[in-house]
Amino acid sequence: MFHESHDSTAYSTRVLHAGGDYADRRYSNSLLAFETGYQDGYRYFEVDLIRTADQKLVCGHSWFGRNAGYEWVRVPLKSDFEQVMSSLDFPACTLDQLMAWVAEKGDVWLITDVKQENVAALRSISEKYAHLVNRIIPQIYFSEDFHQVRQMGYGKIIWTLYRFKGAASDVIKAIEGFSAPFALAFDKTYLIYGLPHLLQKKFPHVNTYVHVINDPEEMCYLSSEFNIFEVYTDSLFLDVNCK
C-alpha cells in the first residue's frame, strides 16, 4: 500500500469501504461483508467505528439513520448493541469480533475510520491489540495528530482529508513534517484543487487514494489523468484494473 510499484501492485491494494456492499446493503460493517470481500480477494478493509453509551468501540457509521439495518432511538450500551445485532441477518460487529477475524486471517489490513475521539481510540486499540498493531492502518483527520499516532506503534498511517478544511498547498506544507511511510486519501474535490499535481512535484513517492469510487471507467480516468494510486470502493471487483 505504501511505496509500492504503481504498475505491479496497485489493484491488489484497493480498499473495501466500510466492509463493502453486501446483499445490496452499503455501510453494513458486518463480518459477513468483510468475509465476502476476503473471499473476493480483498486484503485492505476500511471499517467505521463508533462508541456505545458505555464508551466501547463497535462497527458502524452512525447511530442516526439506519445502522446495520436497525434504527436506533438512542445510543445503546454495548450489551444492547450485541443483543440487537444478534437478531439481524447482517449484523455489524464489535471491535473485539472484528479483531478476532483479523487475527484468524493473518493476511488482512484494517483501516480505521473512528467517528469520535479518534486519537484516544487509536491509543486504546494499540494497547489492547498490541499483537495486531502491524495489521492496523489508522486514518487521522488532522496533521497535528500524525506524530503521536506514530508513537503508538502504528507503522503505516493514512491522512484522510474529508475533515480537513485547508487548501492543497496546506496539505503539502503539513506533510513536509511527516515521516514515511504514509499515504493520503481524499475525495474528488482535491483533484480540482490540484493536489495530485503538487504531490507529483514534491512528494512523488506518496501514494494517493480517492474515495468513494464505484465506477470502473472513473477509476481508470483518475489513474491515467491524476496518477491516483488506488481507490476506496464499495463494489469494484479486483479484476477491474486499468493496466
> Which domains are seen in the chain, by residue range?
11-233 (3.20.20.190)
Q: State if pTM tops 0.75.
A: yes
For cell 491524476, the residue is 226
CA separation for the pair 125, 138 (Å, rounded): 10
Provide mean pLDDT across the span 161-173: 95
The pLDDT, as a whole number, for residue 26 is 86
Peptide bond into 212 cis (omega under 30): yes
Burial class (CB in 10 A: 0-12, 13-18, 19+), 219: buried
For cell 464499495, the residue is 234
For cell 442516526, the residue is 64
152 touches 122 (CB < 8 A): yes
Backbone angles phi, psi at 190, to 5 degrees: -75, -15
Q: How many CB atoms lie within 10 A of CB 89?
A: 11
93 touches 58 (CB < 8 A): yes
- State the cell numbers at 41: 480477494
The pLDDT, as a whole number, for residue 8 is 38
Go through 228-243 and write b for each residue having 16 or more CB atoms within 10 A of its CB, e for each that does not: bbbbbbbebebeebee
Condensed to tens digits (0 to 9), the pLDDT of residues 35-88 reads 999 999 999 999 999 999 999 999 998 898 766 568 888 999 999 999 999 998
The pLDDT, as a whole number, for residue 67 is 63
β-pair partners for 159: 140, 184
CA separation for the pair 176, 242 (Å, rounded): 31
CA separation for the pair 161, 184 (Å, rounded): 8
Taken in order 131, 134, 138, 143, the sign of the CA dihedral is positive
The pLDDT, as a whole number, for residue 68 is 58
Condensed to tens digits (0 to 9), the pLDDT of residues 90-121 reads 888 999 999 999 999 999 999 999 999 999 99
CA separation for the pair 194, 103 (Å, rounded): 39
β-pair partners for 30: 92
Reduce the DSSP state of residue 193 to 3 states and report it: coil
Condensed to tens digits (0 to 9), the pLDDT of residues 186-226 reads 999 999 999 999 999 999 999 999 999 999 999 999 999 99
CA separation for the pair 232, 69 (Å, rounded): 22
